[in-house]
Amino acid sequence: MVTFTDLSHINVKGGDGGAGCMSFRREAYVPKGGPDGGDGGHGGDVIVEADPQLSSLIDYRYKHHFKAERGTHGQGARKHGKDGEDLILKVPLGTVVRELDHETQKPLYQIADLTHPGERVVVAPGGIGGRGNIHFVTSVRRSPDYAEKGAPAQEHWIELEMKLMADAALVGMPSVGKSSLIARMSAARPKIADYPFTTLVPNLGMVRARNGHSFVVADVPGLIEGASEGKGLGHEFLRHIERTALIMHVVDVTGSYEGRDPVHDFEVINDELAAYAEDLAVRPQIVVANKCDMPGTEENVERVRAAAEKAGYPFFAVSCVTGAGIDAHIDATAEEGFELRIKAAEEARKAAEEKPIRDWEADRRRRDRRIDIKNLGGNVWRVSGVGVERMVIQTDWDNEEGISYLMHRFERIGLDERLQKAGVKDGDEVRILGYAFTYESPDHDDEYAELKDSDDEVVEEFIEGDE
């Protein structure tokens, strides 16, 4: 039974917004009751949240579609619709969230990197609820016969990639004793056998040293030559080494696995780490020569020691069977890990001061405000963009007042000005979604000018053509 998954593609969709209500106050002795249509409720958001209790993305292995609750419609008597409930998707610490291309399913950009307990990001915002006709009263329109439709929520695919949050990672060739070592050091009980690739999934163990320090160690499936290019099992799990502050490089000094030379294995693994990610080549490393209790290993122990010291790495000779050298190795690793954590925290603090943490929500809103204007040939133009398309969708096209209000919104976001800059002339056809307009230069009075449209944001970025 599969219990570990570290990469998943899922489809997320926020809840649709509820429609606003078009209603007028009707009661005894109030012959001219004004508009009283309530707003539609906002749709719920789909939120990804880091949960330290989880260790895998197994919940997303078989279920791939997630949708938040929609908002309910507004009613008369100024009764607003209920907002939809948010849908929270729990993921392990260290999960990277990326936007996927809907056609190729290839990552487009990173949305968030969730490395702290409770950290969350909205991956699919709910649709905005439509406003009731109480919002459209002006000095010239006292009885607006119009209410907005609810905005549909966006639907898209995202990638969840889990990278283990461990202090140290055990790396090495298959069958060098990594699983035996983590079992000796901690309470972890991985599968141990005398054949290669016994470990098929990463294992985590908590190790406590005699000096009181503790650290989390990850046992990664064995690597082979060419792992950085996809050979063996290592390519799938090299990502779990990226976050570790320290590498524990385990070498089998007996050469029992296919009669290999331990020094050559040491060099091959380091070459593969460097080939996968350049920063792994300079990552702090401790070399652990395992199985030193076996007869005739003295020469290989010294050869590996010399190779490690030449590379500038601390060296320990241990035996997972007898326990020889284990405590000294744990103490040194715990001390090194403690110093690295302090250093990492200080670097993170300085980085935060120099460059504030990226606001993913602001990035999303900025993308939503983008407008693309493209000439389709001749006098036909196409306008696209999440924000402007949402305005069109919210409009009741069977209502003349609704169309007038849409023109008002276009003017408020500066669409007319941008159309003129793009080269659109009077009489040209402008298409948005499935609707077509004949463009006319704005020279009329805006009967909705006195309204304050708090949800309409000025477009910050303008894209002309295919740029």
Q: Out of 153-157, 186-190, 459-463, give the one with best mean pLDDT.
A: 153-157
Check whether 2 has a pLDDT greater than 70: no
Q: How far is CA 104 from the centre of its chain?
A: 18
Check whether 70 has a pLDDT greater than 70: yes
Check whether 440 has a pLDDT greater than 90: no
Check whether 258 has a pLDDT greater than 70: no
> What proportion of the chain, given as a percentage, has pLDDT over 70?
80
Check whether 103 has a pLDDT greater than 80: yes
What residues have CB less than 8 Å from 295, skipping those under 6 apart?
none
Region 189-213 average pLDDT: 60
Region 378-389 average pLDDT: 89
Domain pair 1-162 / 369-464, same fold: no
Between 443 and 225, name the one with better pLDDT. 443
Q: 196-210, 222-236, 352-366, 403-417: lowest mean pLDDT where?
A: 222-236
- What is the pairing mode between strands 7-13 and 65-67? parallel
Residue 186, classed as helix, strand or coil, is coil
Region 150-159 average pLDDT: 91
Cα–Cα dist 217/249, whole Å: 12
Identify the pLDDT of residue 79. Answer: 93
Q: 202-206, 352-356, 379-383: lowest mean pLDDT where?
A: 352-356
Q: Where are the domains of the chain?
A: 1-162, 168-354, 369-464
Identify the pLDDT of residue 434. Answer: 85
pLDDT range class, residue 358, cuts 50, 70, 90: low
- What is the pairing mode between strands 107-114 and 95-100? antiparallel
Question: Which class does domain 1-162 fall in?
Answer: mainly beta
**Mean pLDDT over each residue of the chain, to the nearest integer:** 81
Check whether 239 has a pLDDT greater than 80: no
Identify the pLDDT of residue 446. Answer: 59
Region 405-426 average pLDDT: 86
Between 210 and 2, name the one with better pLDDT. 210
Region 192-197 average pLDDT: 40
CATH architecture of 168-354: 3-Layer(aba) Sandwich (3.40)
Region 131-151 average pLDDT: 85
Between 202 and 170, name the one with better pLDDT. 170
Identify the pLDDT of residue 230. Answer: 46
Cα–Cα dist 328/332, whole Å: 6
CATH architecture of 369-464: 2-Layer Sandwich (3.30)
pLDDT range class, residue 142, cuts 50, 70, 90: confident
Cα–Cα dist 316/309, whole Å: 11
Cα–Cα dist 172/160, whole Å: 27
Between 456 and 388, name the one with better pLDDT. 388
How many C-beta atoms lie closer than 10 Å to residue 418's C-beta? Answer: 18
Check whether 134 has a pLDDT greater than 70: yes
Helices (H) and strands (E) in the chain, counts: 9, 19
Check whether 1 has a pLDDT greater than 50: no
Compute the Cα dihedral for 47, 48, 53, 56 and give only its sign: positive
Per-residue pLDDT tens for 284-297?
999 999 999 888 88
Check whether 303 has a pLDDT greater than 90: yes
Check whether 59 has a pLDDT greater than 60: yes
Task: Report the chain's terminal Cα–Cα distance, integer Å.
Answer: 48
Identify the pLDDT of residue 226. Answer: 47
Between 33 and 78, name the one with better pLDDT. 78
pLDDT range class, residue 256, cuts 50, 70, 90: low
Cα–Cα dist 40/37, whole Å: 10
Provide DSSP, 328-353. HHHHHHHHHHHHHHHHHHHHHHHHHH
Region 254-273 average pLDDT: 82
Identify the pLDDT of residue 71. Answer: 96
Q: 343-347, 369-373, 432-436: lowest mean pLDDT where?
A: 343-347
Region 27-53 average pLDDT: 85
Identify the pLDDT of residue 353. Answer: 63
Region 441-462 average pLDDT: 55
Q: How far is CA 168 from the centre of its chain?
A: 24
Exposed, middle or buried by CB within 10 Å (0-12, 13-18, 19+), for 347?
exposed
